[in-house]
Structure 1
């Protein structure tokens, strides 16, 4: 009988909660359902994260003014693209790795409607 040395511990399996979350989100996407957007959390993100460059009142700073009157001439799709993909060669980072299309669309609506004011 050969002896095999066990290196100990459980096999490296992804945590169950990550698998369940992945399956739930995948199922919703396949079924055509949308995952609800957390508006209050996104509003905080706009104020804190966007505000860190665009100014806490979004009047501009390192980044330009992003209040409704400054954004009025942009199409919502253009604004969503800038948020998702950033602007190369500038301080505007891509948020695609962190935000869904639905979340970005909510943020664009929030910015265009003056939600922070």
Structure 2
């Protein structure tokens, strides 16, 4: 019974989740620059990982990219971030990467 309650609480929380608020967006931008940047380069132009600039990702589907962020890429160093990010947050990051020029 306790498991069912936990599952329902988790589902309710994710159903009520939405786009991240402004403070969380700042945290996600920092995550992209620091954590993603540690492999993809501080300017996201490539390093251990391939480039993830808007130009490099042009034509990619945001939903597919969000799935890659959440689940990682098997056989590579790309980890899945599902334990740390919601689906909405991963989608926000995908949209951010697809629309933001490298600074």
Question: Do these two structures clear the TM 0.5 threshold for a shared fold by scoring above it?
Answer: yes
Which structure has the greater CA radius of gyration?
1
Retained in 2: the 8 A contact 1:43–1:116?
Answer: no
Which consecutive residues of structure 1, in runs of 5 or more, have no partner in the other structure? 1-21
Looking at structure 2, the residues matched to 115 and 69 of structure 1 have their Cα atoms a distance apart, in angstroms, of 8
Q: Paired residue for 2:69, among 58, 83, 102?
A: 83
1:1-117 mapped onto 2 (5 Å cutoff): 26=9, 29=12, 32-34=15-17, 37=20, 38-114=24-100, 117=103
Q: TM-score, normalising length from structure 2? A: 0.79
Cα pair distance change 1:41/1:88, threshold 3 Å = same
> 1:87 aligns to what SS in structure 2?
coil
Pair 1:40–1:100, CA change in 2 (3 A): same
How many residue pairs get aligned? The number is 93
Higher RCO (C-alpha 8 Å, min separation 6): 2
Q: CA deviation at 1:77?
A: 1.2
CA drift of 1:74 comes to: 1.1
Q: Which residue of 1 aligns with 2:3?
A: none
Query: Which of the two has greater helix per residue?
Result: 2
